Amino acid sequence: MEFLNSESINWEELTAQGIDLGLLILGALAVLFVGMWLAGFVERRLLKLFAKSDKIDDTVSSFMASLGKYLVVIFTGIALLDQFGVETTSVIALLGAAGLAIGLALQGTLSNLAAGVMLLIFRPFKVGQFVQVGGEAGVVKAISLFTTMMDTGDNVRIMIPNGSVWGSSISNFNFHDTRRLQIVFGIGYDDNIDNAMKAISDIIAADDRCLVDPEPLVAVTELGDSSVNIMVRVWCSSGDYWALNWSLLKAVKEGFDAKGVNIPYPTRTVYNHNASV
Q: What pLDDT does 57 receive?
A: 62
User: Coil, strand or helix: which one is 87?
Assistant: coil
Question: Taking the C-alpha atoms of 115, 117, 120 and 123 in order, what is their torsion angle to the nearest 10 degrees?
Answer: -40
Angstrom distance (rounded) from CA 171 to CA 134:
10
- Catalogue all structural domains in the chain, each as residue range(s) with its CATH number: 11-97 (1.10.287.1260), 123-172 (2.30.30.60), 178-259 (3.30.70.100)
Which pLDDT does position 197 carry in this prediction?
96
Structure confidence at residue 58 (pLDDT): 67
Angle of helix 58-83 relative to helix 107-122, nearest 10 degrees?
140
In 45-174, DSSP assigns E strands to: 130-133, 136-143, 147-151, 157-161, 170-172
Task: Report the distance separating Cα 211 and Cα 180, nearest Å.
Answer: 10
pLDDT for residue 134? 80
According to the model, what pLDDT value does residue 1 have? 46
Report the relative pairing of strands 130-133 and 147-151 from DSSP bridges: unpaired
Tell me the pLDDT of the chain (277 aa) as tens digits. 444 455 556 666 667 667 766 767 777 777 778 888 888 888 888 777 777 766 666 666 777 777 788 788 877 777 777 766 666 566 666 656 555 554 555 566 778 878 888 888 888 998 899 999 988 899 999 888 788 999 998 999 999 999 899 988 999 999 999 999 999 999 999 999 999 999 999 999 999 999 999 999 999 999 988 899 999 999 999 999 999 999 999 999 999 999 999 988 877 767 777 655 5
Greatest distance between any 2 Cα atoms in the chain: 121
